[in-house]
Structure 1
């Protein structure tokens, strides 16, 4: 007797559909009750995708607004990028999105909808309500529409979640060919939100969708807040002009460094930024000597220290006073990386007139300072701390001799570079108006 071959395993599949029968939602409505009435056949393992607009309406997040811009201002905690009237901001929920999620569509004229106060809590409340009403264990995702870096167009993503594993971390596993998965973390909740958007539509009056057949995505303890990338890991935290301003304002003088090594490529990128500074007569007055070896740093700093001690003794300072001053100068010695910016005056004009020759040199000094400032700001953008110290300017002959530099290279201080050992102190606010004169 022949035995029939086993039936092939069914291919993975799921169903997704929009719920009909959800009425216009008003403040105070019980969303779990409305969903239960529209979908009494919900099953364990189903995932409910709920548009944030109806959650906001039910929770009374409708405000009168003479101007949508005013509402956006009130909901914004940080401007990420601005282009014309469009603003990408971080809102009170910690979400980075256009217009802080303030929506003037599908609401009465003269009003706007704010996002739910706590979308994760909203999802948890709907889930608990459905468990009580229908005795089912479902996942709930509150969705909203986002744009995305790198990509054109909009899609729905999860801003609140309950009972769903929002992220599927595959790191440590292997692919079908046995290759290790080192960076694969799937945004499961966002994928579900986008699937629901395909059937809900934006203007069809269908604010809720159900996904069936993916019961494995259910799980306890996860929230949509986990989908928001931490600031320290966010490479796109700011727009272009905002990033420039942030790097400038966040640059600090760092005097204590960790032992973590400095990436030489990061310093070279900072040099590339430095040499874009303006300079007179189309010249290039900047040179950067990079002391990457510990031996080179110690040789220079020892020679500078000896020269400084000699100067202080000539000035009549006591040995105790000299020791204190030397200790205060240890910021360069404690840094794992040093750069010595130098000025060259190739292309300078010689006028043979003291006043004009002095002004010519000052132009080159200003241009070199602009390059050093670019360098420091670029280092901050590379997440490297730095401290510009003027000491090499007081012993240029010593520096040139130790580093083997040409006589026409003028050391313009030194920059200590490394990873900050502690958070910088808050910068004292300066009123820009105090530094402005208008004629």
Structure 2
């Protein structure tokens, strides 16, 4: 590493569609040797591959390259593009291109890097690594730098986990983004406006590997591990639209802290007269859950027998309540009428209660959405509303607490089924 050297390659002409980048680089006389790493700006790769397209409307071009919107502020969009990269404007570039055109990123930057690498091997007889770079903004950091969006023959990540530092401390989370560090080093000598689209790094031969090497896609954090996958408003919208009723759960325990965070979201719901009409009873022990569900089952069976149902029909109906019994965690939301007004008029008193019931529903909706944000599944079941006295007795609740169903909570066992598409206009009337 002490002999590391980085330099830009002058003499690369203006690149046009169909040009052979490897031949253009070789002709510039970069003096390559085995183990060098060649850094190629994505812009000239895109030009050579014919990714310059006519687009009078840049926004339409961004739409076409976008898989999902991560965050939006005014006209600025951070999106995931078709290459799997999360970046501003999907990487669509309108600078240094003829009027009425935009430049798209290479279709497959890894394949582009491999083509340049193979071409340099053929032209110069050298075994080098190649990285395709692009300019990138980063969360939490001001300013732009270059990152690797394509790679061939390069170890893109150096996994130091399992080793120790200089003091003998174990390294448990250190994975170095070598390809990105190389891209940033190349940007220092290429510059953003110097007309030098290619750079070479020498002295890091250990990062060059035989065969195709690593893929730049390894540098993209997977959705499961990405704690910042969405912007704030998009995260809220995603949690609302992706919330599903989950009826099958794994045995994985539920974090009580996650449920309490969801309750904190629930109690921000609107309520009449500045009241707080919600209470959430958390059934964290198996014993509490079994006692409640057994008592509710007995009360339900008694009701069904009074209705004249057959024993077969009763057994079938009782089985439908298994979603609560199978869940590792139960929550019973309750309505309290503290702070409500009494008017002495049946119509107005009924409307007063309706306001509180609506507020309770808003609180439960907040709760369910927040659980989804914690990656917990839930099912809101109305059963406790049909045996409120039983629930109050088993859970030792005050007489004024009205159970508003029960929420089964747990880690989903599988992916919930897609919700059928709903046309918004069918639910809207405009006056």
- Common fold, TM-score beyond 0.5? yes
Residues 40, 134 of structure 1: 8 Å contact kept = no
Match for residue 94 of structure 1?
84
Match for residue 296 of structure 1?
288
Residues 77, 89 of structure 1: 8 Å contact kept = yes
- In 1: Cα distance, 2:306 partner to 2:163 partner: 68
The structure 2 residue matched to 1:63, chosen from 53, 70, 80, is 53
Match for residue 253 of structure 1?
245
The structure 2 residue matched to 1:203, chosen from 190, 193, 205, is 193
Q: Give the number of equivalent residue pairs.
A: 429
Residues 400, 406 of structure 1: 8 Å contact kept = yes
- In 2: Cα distance, 1:308 partner to 1:271 partner: 29
Match for residue 6 of structure 1?
none
Residues 9, 30 of structure 2: 8 Å contact kept = no
Residues 46, 213 of structure 1: 8 Å contact kept = yes
Give the CA deviation at 1:13: 3.9
> 1:25-55: CA deviations, max 9, x gaps?
1111110011111135101111111000000
Match for residue 219 of structure 2?
227
**1:423 equivalenced with 2:415 (yes/no):** yes
The structure 2 residue matched to 1:105, chosen from 73, 83, 95, is 95
The structure 1 residue matched to 2:70, chosen from 67, 80, 97, is 80
Match for residue 178 of structure 1?
168
Match for residue 368 of structure 1?
360
**RMSD over aligned Cα, in angstroms?**
0.9
Residues 16-27 of structure 1 mapped to structure 2, 5 A cutoff = 16-27=6-17
Classify the secondary structure of the residue corresponding to 2:362: helix
- In 2: Cα distance, 1:135 partner to 1:203 partner: 31
Give the CA deviation at 1:249: 0.6
Match for residue 404 of structure 1?
396
Match for residue 239 of structure 1?
231
Residues 338-357 of structure 1 mapped to structure 2, 5 A cutoff = 338-357=330-349
**1:116 equivalenced with 2:123 (yes/no):** no
- In 2: Cα distance, 1:154 partner to 1:364 partner: 51
- In 2: Cα distance, 1:70 partner to 1:39 partner: 40
- In 1: Cα distance, 2:158 partner to 2:87 partner: 23
The structure 2 residue matched to 1:265, chosen from 257, 277, 286, is 257
**1:130 equivalenced with 2:138 (yes/no):** no
When the two structures are superposed, what TM-score results if normalisation uses the length of structure 1? Answer: 0.96
- In 2: Cα distance, 1:371 partner to 1:110 partner: 51
Residues 78, 90 of structure 2: 8 Å contact kept = yes
> 1:367-390: CA deviations, max 9, x gaps?
000000000000001000000000
Residues 324, 330 of structure 2: 8 Å contact kept = yes
Give the CA deviation at 1:322: 0.5
The structure 2 residue matched to 1:146, chosen from 136, 139, 144, is 136
Classify the secondary structure of the residue corresponding to 1:332: helix
Residues 261-340 of structure 1 mapped to structure 2, 5 A cutoff = 261-340=253-332
**1:45 equivalenced with 2:41 (yes/no):** no
Give the CA deviation at 1:12: 2.6
- In 1: Cα distance, 2:289 partner to 2:410 partner: 14
Classify the secondary structure of the residue corresponding to 1:202: coil
- In 1: Cα distance, 2:325 partner to 2:112 partner: 55
- In structure 1, the gaps of 5 or more residues are 1-10
- In 2: Cα distance, 1:182 partner to 1:402 partner: 47
Residues 130, 152 of structure 2: 8 Å contact kept = yes
- In 2: Cα distance, 1:340 partner to 1:39 partner: 74
- In 1: Cα distance, 2:321 partner to 2:168 partner: 55
When the two structures are superposed, what TM-score results if normalisation uses the length of structure 2? Answer: 0.98
Range moving further from structure 2, 267-276 or 214-223: 214-223
